[in-house]
């Protein structure tokens, strides 16, 4: 069975009320989808995320 990667926005501190979750075949695809979600749903600018923010986000990604 192929590996999939997933992220639930509610797992990020301060986003507990967000119902969005994303699943993708690769980690790169998942990160792009999370970035798109952050723009559309939360009005964020992913290019402004610090390295620490990105590292924390990566730690929240699950693989199955």
**Tens of pLDDT, residues 10-49:** 999 999 999 999 999 999 999 999 999 999 999 999 999 9
CA distance 10 to 6: 12
CA distance 26 to 5: 6
Overall pTM surpassing 0.75 (yes/no): yes
The single residue listed with the structure tokens 């923010």 is: 53
Domain extents for the chain? 5-63
């Amino acid at each position: 069975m192929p590996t999939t990667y997933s992220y639930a926005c509610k797992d990020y501190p301060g986003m507990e009320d967000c119902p969005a979750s994303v699943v993708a075949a690769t980690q790169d695809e998942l990160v792009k989808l999370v970035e798109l979600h952050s723009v559309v749903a939360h009005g964020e600018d992913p290019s402004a995320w610090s390295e620490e923010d990105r590292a924390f986000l990566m730690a929240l990604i699950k693989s199955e």
